[in-house]
Amino acid sequence: MISRPWATSTRVAELRALLATCPADVVVLDIDGDDGLPAVADVAAEAGVVVVSGCDEPGLVQRVLQAGALGCLRRESASDGMLRLLRGALDGMTAITGEHALRVAESLRQQRAAG
């Protein structure tokens, strides 16, 4: 069950201070592209991170996961199944939408085919 209070922050330092006083199991970060990856890595050291992004590039999903996030959701579809995906992240599953999973799989297939 997701029972932590919701809080918002626009700066990573504020978020880390908030996490020090009110630990969270999962934090949802809204980022735009690679500029947000340092924040993902920084916050992932304190709590589980699920990223919401408007970027649809499969490589970004991979980089977000490599930075330590538990998952990545498209901003446009974030409300569809958000709680289900967050619960999955809490249970140790990778939280990505089916559309993202298909794009990542296709990107990996193309990389393997290119040799």
- Structure tokens that stand for 11 in this block: 């700066």
What pLDDT is attached to residue 35? 85
Q: Is the pLDDT of residue 62 over 50?
A: yes
Domain extent listing, the chain? 12-114
Q: Which fold has domain 12-114?
A: Rossmann fold (3.40.50)
**DSSP secondary structure of the chain:** ---SPP---SSHHHHHHHHHHS--SEEEEEE-GGGGHHHHHHHHTTSEEEEEES---HHHHHHHHHTT-SEEEEGGGTTTTHHHHHHHHHTT--EE-HHHHHHHHHHHHHHHHH-
Give the rounded distance of the alpha carbon of 13 from its chain centre: 18
Confidence (pLDDT) at 27: 87
In the structure, what pLDDT confidence band is assigned to residue 67 with cuts at 50, 70 and 90?
very high
Distance between CA atoms of residues 94 and 80, nearest Å: 16
Please check the confidence at residue 69 and state whether its pLDDT lies above 50.
Answer: yes
With cut-offs at 50, 70 and 90, classify the pLDDT of residue 59: confident
pTM as predicted: 0.76
Residue type, position 20, single letter:
A
**Residue 113 tokens, joined:** 């085919």
Mean pLDDT, range 17-21, rounded to an integer: 85
